[in-house]
Structure 1
Amino acid sequence: MSKENYESCLEDLNDIPNEEVREPAIPVDIYVQEAADLAVWVEDEKEAMKKAGMDWKLAVRLPELAGTLRYAQSLWMKEFNTQEEARRKWELKSPEAFELKNDLEADCRFAFRKRPDLLAKVQQVEDGTSHADMVQDLSDLAALGNANLSLLQAIGVSVEKLQMAEASASEMSKFLAQMNGESATNNEAKIIRDKAYTLLKRAVDEVRDTGKYVFRKNPEKLKGFTSAYYRKLNRSRTEKSTEDIISD
Structure 2
Amino acid sequence: MSYIEDFEQWKDRIEAVPLNEVKLPNKPIDEYVLSVNTLAIDANEDREALGGAGMDVNLIDELTPLSSALSYLQAQWMSIFRAREEAVVEWNEQAPEAFKFRDELLHHFSFAYRNRDDVNKKVARIREGNSQADMVQDLLEIAVLGEKYPDPLNAIKFDLALLPEARTLSHSMSELLAAANGAADDGNQTKVLRDKAFTLLFQKDSIIREYGRYVFWKDEDRRSRYYR
Tell me if TM exceeds 0.5.
Answer: yes
Whether the 8 Å contact between 1:184 and 1:190 is mirrored in structure 2 is no
Does residue 1:93 correspond to 2:114, yes or no?
Answer: no
How many residues are paired up? 227
Q: If the length of structure 1 is used for normalisation, what is the TM-score?
A: 0.88
Which residue does the alignment assign to 2:200? 199
Cα offset for 1:74? Answer: 0.8
Which residue does the alignment assign to 2:191? 190
What amino acid is the match of 1:187? N
Which residue does the alignment assign to 2:222? 221
Distance 2:155 2:148 in 1: 14
SS at match of 1:139: helix
Distance 1:125 1:158 in 2: 20
Overall identity of the aligned pairs, in %: 36
What amino acid is the match of 2:103? N
Which residue does the alignment assign to 1:142? 143
SS at match of 1:159: coil
**Counterparts of residues 34-183 of structure 1 (less than 5 Å):** 34-183=35-184
Whether the 8 Å contact between 1:9 and 1:68 is mirrored in structure 2 is yes
SS at match of 1:207: helix
Which residue does the alignment assign to 2:213? 212
Distance 1:184 1:137 in 2: 25
Distance 1:153 1:212 in 2: 83
What amino acid is the match of 1:129? N
Whether the 8 Å contact between 2:84 and 2:184 is mirrored in structure 1 is no
Cα offset for 1:139? Answer: 0.3
Q: Deviations over 1:153-212 (max 9, x none)?
A: 222221222122111101100011112225432111111000000011011101111111
SS at match of 1:42: helix
Cα offset for 1:215? Answer: 1.1
Whether the 8 Å contact between 2:108 and 2:158 is mirrored in structure 1 is yes
Distance 1:48 1:213 in 2: 11
Distance 1:217 1:184 in 2: 48
Cα offset for 1:150? Answer: 2.6
Gapped regions of structure 2 (runs ≥ 5): none
| Worse overlay, 77-86 or 25-34 | 77-86
Distance 2:151 2:182 in 1: 38
Distance 2:211 2:93 in 1: 53
The ranges of structure 1 where at least 4 consecutive aligned residues each deviate by more than 4 angstroms after the TM superposition are none
Whether the 8 Å contact between 2:74 and 2:194 is mirrored in structure 1 is yes
Which residue does the alignment assign to 1:5? 6
Does residue 1:30 correspond to 2:31, yes or no?
Answer: yes
| Worse overlay, 216-225 or 135-144 | 216-225
Whether the 8 Å contact between 2:80 and 2:183 is mirrored in structure 1 is no
| Worse overlay, 194-203 or 210-219 | 210-219
Distance 1:13 1:106 in 2: 55
What amino acid is the match of 2:25? P
Which residue does the alignment assign to 1:232? none
Q: Deviations over 1:76-123 (max 9, x none)?
A: 111111211111111110000000100011110000111111101101
